[in-house]
Amino acid sequence: MNGGDEQANWRAAARMCAGSKQNRPSAGSVNQSAERGRIAMRTRSGSEVIDRDRRQLLSTAAMGIAVVGAASLFPAYPAPAATSDEIRPFLVNVPEEALVDLRRRINTTRWPDRETVSDESQGVQLATMQEVARYWGTDYDWRKCEAKLNALPQFMTEIDGLDIHFIHVRSKHENAMPLIVTHGWPGSVIEQLKIIDPLTNPTAHGASASDAFHLVIPSIPGYGFSARPTTTGWGPDRTARAWVMLMKRLGYSQFASQGGDLGAVVSHVMAKQAPPELLGIHVNLPATIPPDIAKALQSGDPPPSDLSADEKRAYEQLKVLFAKRRAYAVMMGTRPQTLTGLADSPVGLAAWLLDHGDGYGQPAAAIVSAVLGRTLNGHPADGLTRDDVLDDITLYWLTNTAISSARFYWENKFSVYNAADISVPAAVSVFPGENYQAPRSWTERAYHKLIYYNNVDKGGHYAAWEQPRLFSEEVRAGFRALRKSI
């Protein structure tokens, strides 16, 4: 399939999906019966959007397939697609009243007392949140983010009874490797926007055409524009199986998988499932803790005396992580529904998404310094911008996915950090601002077919978002050996 043809097909479908301005219903009429703050969208049935024959796409449209104006992106019981394997073009169209309501809620926040300490040890500081709210409630413009998303080929398809949103950008280069990239929490597809062109169009970024990828970037169920599950069972294992189905539906008989944070968990689980279509994985949050080290950490013991210098550093980092920085994950993993306030207060939601239990250290430093626009605790506002961070937070608010995304933690039965114990080809990049720097010795034990390992000089937990150039270089380098073997 030619990448340029598919992009043209998508644009044609998107134009038909949007319709002419004068024929589009007003935001108010579209959203009359919808819950306030939900997104209105328009989709057009169109599995033909991935058909090679553009004339078939246009003739089908000419036959009168209607544009459907949905009052809510996430009704309680989403209407099924016309066919279960149909792929539908997708555009974001947030009603203006939803944005007015967001600003009203931000600007009428009932604030708590100031913290009783002079640092961030009690959580995100009051002054920080008030500074965020001032900009978010007055100057921030969601429409810029909406335009960036709508400039990309976005689609919706039903998998295992659930609507899944995804971005699909094919490279113009022959023999590009199909790659599915999964975001984490508190992320979304917005985290990956900056890596799309470097990975699909590598020659424009100083790399070789042989390093090109066809990219598929889905929203995890319950996150962003994907539907919110109404039953249990949508954890990393079911998601991994859904991703395989998605890639096959797109016509990819072989593909690789990439992920950081929860996206790494999905990639690890997919590798454990080992479907024949999976060529290999690349992760930037590796799961490497050996069983004996995990036991020592759980017991609160000092590091074993025989650890190397890098193993001891990792042990100390993990000790701090598990003792002080996992409260949010424990809460979402055990009592996600209790976080009801996140669906009612945008500022409360922002505070929750900004705080990783580490104050102004890593990994939260990158997003907090960006949203404030200044260096915090030695961590500069580098790579990310204030609008980058607020785009992501606003997406959570507009889609009302604070609770549904938290439930993914409740559903998860797989360790984020303990040794992955997988045998498919795996590439690992270790960024300095990650929760811990995985030693090569541990990594080699956890990934039995380790094809690439590298300690990167810059970047953190949100590697694709913070350092898209370096991240893209790592993904290319990580899969080079895999390309040569197939």
CA dihedral for 226, 228, 229, 234, sign (positive or negative)? positive
**Does the annotation count 223 as an active-site position?**
no
210-234 per-residue burial string, b: 16 or more CB within 10 A, e: under 16 = bbbbbbbbbbbbbbbbbbbbeeeeb
Q: Cα–Cα distance between 431 and 417 in angstroms, integer?
A: 15
Q: Identify the active-site residue in 360, 409, 417, 453.
A: 409
Q: Cα–Cα distance between 286 and 255 in angstroms, integer?
A: 20
> What separation, in Å, do the N-terminal and C-terminal C-alpha atoms of the chain show?
20
Q: Cα–Cα distance between 459 and 433 in angstroms, integer?
A: 6
CA dihedral for 163, 166, 170, 176, sign (positive or negative)? negative
CA proximity to 243, closest of 125, 164, 314, 141: 164
Q: Identify the active-site residue in 163, 211, 237, 261.
A: 261
Helices (H), 325-379: 327-334, 346-354, 365-372
Q: Which residue has the tokens 């950490």?
A: 297
Residue 418, strand partner residues = 289
**Does the annotation count 461 as an active-site position?**
yes
Q: Cα–Cα distance between 150 and 144 in angstroms, integer?
A: 10
Number of helices and strands in the chain (H, E): 19, 11
Q: Cα–Cα distance between 169 and 11 in angstroms, integer?
A: 12
**Does the annotation count 379 as an active-site position?**
no
φ/ψ (deg, to 5) at 220: -55, 140
CA proximity to 219, closest of 184, 175, 260: 184
Contact predicate 446/288, CB 8 Å? yes
φ/ψ (deg, to 5) at 440: -60, -35
The sheet carrying 426-430 orders its strands as 67-70, 40-44, 87-93, 154-159, 162-169, 213-218, 177-182, 255-259, 278-283, 426-430, 450-455
3-class secondary structure for 272-317?
HHCCCCEEEEEECCCCCECHHHHHHHHHCCCCCCCCCHHHHHHHHH
Active site residues: 261, 409, 461
